Structure 1
Amino acid sequence: MKKPSILFVSNTSRHARPYYDPSTRYRCFNFAQSLSAKGYPTACTTQAIFQKQTQVFSNYDYFVFHRPALTAELAEFILSTPTERVIADFDDLNFSVIHAIETPAVRTRSENVSTVSKSLAKIAGAASLFTQFSSSTTPLARHLSTLFSAKKSVVIPNGIDPTFAGISEMVRERNPVSSRPYTFAYFPGTASHNPDLQMIEEPMREALASDSSFKLMIAGPVKIPDSLSQYSAQIHKAEYVAFHELPNLMAKSKFVLGPLEDTEFNQCKSGLKFFEAALSGCTVVGSPIPDIDRFESILLRKCKTTKEWKEALIAPILHSEESLEEAAKLVDLDVSSEKQTAKWISEFIDQ
């Protein structure tokens, strides 16, 4: 029996190379790759391309619209397609206008709240046309169920693709935790994480002051807090690397930092900052947002208070290399894209 075909359509600004958009990679390409391996015909495109010529793509059986934004062309297509064949997918709280002030655009890039609200309203307008939703976290699923006429709002967590998992396994073998040159590492994807690093400024300063052999690597466009400048000899700024080179960089450090301000917007985020690093054998010291809090692992130290951060940053890793390897493998099994895709199939196709 022929398996149904699925088209993933992402509302990304990276029209030429959408794979390089982390959100599109996780929510579209990773699923498409796993579905294809199971015999489902799949493809990925951008909303900008899709809505220019919807008739070219109309023969697919299912359509997954990632972060869709309302346009006349998209609305016409959605309203003319059976509701069970179209799914709206989200991995951020970018459809709730009342949370505009919490978005990175407003908080760190100083964009006008009104302008950002209009952008969120376009996404909310598109979401209102759907009855089936998938999302990366439980809080997102709750928001979607509350705001829209959701007959189905399913949590399908982000999953790690086999290539990234394979590279991570190799770097764990080659980089024993005990011999890694950096104590801590921070991997902010954008400068929007400036407030997050500032949140742990005092614990980080005390950790660096406690032992001159402690070294911090920062890979990303984040501003180093002024109070850490006196420890510049212990801080290294790393160059940007491509996504699949990230495990090699992470494996230079024992701990990876994952601070996040406690906002509703951040509470809806994916826990990928934990499992990307855990697959490289790193112990993650992070804020327990729900999608991280669901994990229990010796590779995870959850911190809410300044006191907890101070204790977690100074406490040594006492587990054996064998125990750390076993923990990394357990995380790998839990977050594989194949596992998440199997859930996607059971929810949206095998009904």
Structure 2
Amino acid sequence: MKLLLIKIGKAWSVLKRDGLWSGGKRVIGAFFALFRRVRSGDVLFISNGIGDSARYRTVYAAEALEQHGFKTAVTIQDNPFLVSYADQFSIFVFHRVLYTEKVARLIERIKALGKEIIFEADDLVYDPQFLQSMAGYADMNALERKLYENGVGGEILADPYVKVCTTSTAFLAERLRERGKRVFVIRNKVSQEDVKHADEVLRTVAKDPSIVRVAYLSGTPSHNRDFAMITDALLAVLAKYPEMRLVLAGPLDTDSRLQAFAARIERVPFLPRAEYFALVAGTDINLAPLEIGNPFCEAKSELKWFEAGLVAVPTVAAATGTFREAIADGVDGYVAGTTEEWIEKLGRLIEDRTLRQAMGERARATVLEKYATATAADTEYYDYLRSKLS
């Protein structure tokens, strides 16, 4: 009953955020995922839903493994046949899975068979001590908060049988190693379908050279605090560059001071994946602000940079550890740690169209080489998985 109430709470939030049509399609998609066929194989990825996190950490992760000869499948924890899958796979990757009675039975069966369990984390949601650092937690409804009250999958991570984790960033890897786990950092990657969408978009995209569209693409309302970190910088560049247009996509509450530039601000609703890439490709500069020093933000991956890079759009990103590691500052993107740096680096890109194009192309080359499932090269991880299949 608890899990059902949590799901109802999340569904209601999706409908409020995306509207009845778009949100309804996502909710219906989640329902039909219950009955998605699962064929036997080597590795089974299990998640608690079908959102963006599950897309990158299960669906795309499975696609990358398939490129290296592994037979994989993806399911959600509500699947009515979940426990029976213990007999059909050798390795089980648990991503943001709530510890329910059904999940407990699956885990006990896996243990009895002596098979491998891997805990997968792309955020700090497994540890309730970090909830106060989590933007948007205070705005969740009571049903959504129940998802996090014990940490998402914290019971699985605490099980001494579970000795290995995968994660998306070096910051998270260190947190997990503190718990005595062996950790593989598996970066988020775009799928082959994403690359196809991007290629199609780039063949047809046209930009107005008389304006510079600077975009912030928010996936959830929890990014309000991140965006607030660059409000002063945006006010400064909007005042200095009349050719600048600010594109705000997805749910976002903004500072009232931006109303002075309302005629130059474009609001776009939450978009499906293919339309999202078309939107990004039609912009000139991508923004990726985060609260530097906030543990939840330091844990975030570089996907806001590489999604824009896939369609050759340069990014100015917060100087978190992850972005500093991913971006060659001034080469395939910019990182900024202060308001002054945001103003300076945005100004360079707004003023210089050639720089924007060159930086965007270099970002795209980096993404296709290092951040695509087709070119994934997590060799040490693959070797470990093969050792569990032999």
Normalising by the smaller structure, the TM-score range is 0.7 to 0.9
How many residues are aligned here? 338
What is the aligned counterpart of 1:81 among 110, 116, 123?
A: 110
3-state SS of 1:118 partner: coil
Q: Where does 1:223-262 land on structure 2 (aligned, <5 Å)?
A: 223-262=253-292
State the partner residue of 2:99: 70
State yes or no: 1:168 paired with 2:198.
yes
1:112–1:199 Cα change, 3 Å: farther
Any conservation in 2 of the 1:68–1:88 contact (CA below 8 Å)? no
Displacement of 1:284: 0.6
Any conservation in 2 of the 1:101–1:113 contact (CA below 8 Å)? no
What is the aligned counterpart of 2:87 among 30, 51, 58?
A: 58
3-state SS of 1:256 partner: strand
Any conservation in 1 of the 2:98–2:147 contact (CA below 8 Å)? no
State TM-score, norm by structure 2. Answer: 0.79
State yes or no: 1:9 paired with 2:46.
yes
State the partner residue of 2:24: none
Any conservation in 1 of the 2:86–2:109 contact (CA below 8 Å)? no
Deviates more, 1:222-231 or 1:291-300: 291-300
Deviates more, 1:330-339 or 1:73-82: 73-82
Hey, what's the Cα distance between the residues in 1 that align with 2:123 and 2:273?
Answer: 20
Any conservation in 2 of the 1:207–1:314 contact (CA below 8 Å)? yes
1:314–1:241 Cα change, 3 Å: same
3-state SS of 1:48 partner: coil
1:37–1:155 Cα change, 3 Å: closer
1:10–1:114 Cα change, 3 Å: closer
What is the aligned counterpart of 1:332 among 329, 345, 368?
A: 368
Any conservation in 1 of the 2:284–2:313 contact (CA below 8 Å)? yes
3-state SS of 1:273 partner: helix
Displacement of 1:141: 1.2
Any conservation in 1 of the 2:333–2:359 contact (CA below 8 Å)? no
Hey, what's the Cα distance between the residues in 2 that align with 1:185 and 1:145?
Answer: 36
State TM-score, norm by structure 1. Answer: 0.87
**Structure 1: runs of 5+ lacking an equivalent:** 13-17
Quick one: which amino acid aligns to residue 269 of structure 1? K
Deviates more, 1:191-200 or 1:227-236: 191-200
Q: Where does 1:256-275 land on structure 2 (aligned, <5 Å)?
A: 256-262=286-292, 263-275=294-306
1:188–1:174 Cα change, 3 Å: same
Any conservation in 2 of the 1:93–1:140 contact (CA below 8 Å)? yes
Hey, what's the Cα distance between the residues in 1 that align with 2:360 and 2:150?
Answer: 43
Hey, what's the Cα distance between the residues in 2 that align with 1:322 and 1:98?
Answer: 43
Displacement of 1:203: 0.8
What is the aligned counterpart of 2:184 among 151, 154, 158?
A: 154
State the partner residue of 2:28: none
Any conservation in 2 of the 1:6–1:40 contact (CA below 8 Å)? yes
Hey, what's the Cα distance between the residues in 2 that align with 1:157 and 1:185?
Answer: 24
State the partner residue of 1:15: none
Percent of matched pairs sharing the same residue: 24
1:280–1:4 Cα change, 3 Å: same
Hey, what's the Cα distance between the residues in 2 that align with 1:220 and 1:273?
Answer: 14
**Structure 2: runs of 5+ lacking an equivalent:** 1-39
Any conservation in 2 of the 1:105–1:111 contact (CA below 8 Å)? no
State the partner residue of 2:338: 305
State yes or no: 1:281 paired with 2:317.
no
Hey, what's the Cα distance between the residues in 1 that align with 2:247 and 2:145?
Answer: 37
Quick one: which amino acid aligns to residue 143 of structure 1? R
Any conservation in 1 of the 2:332–2:362 contact (CA below 8 Å)? no
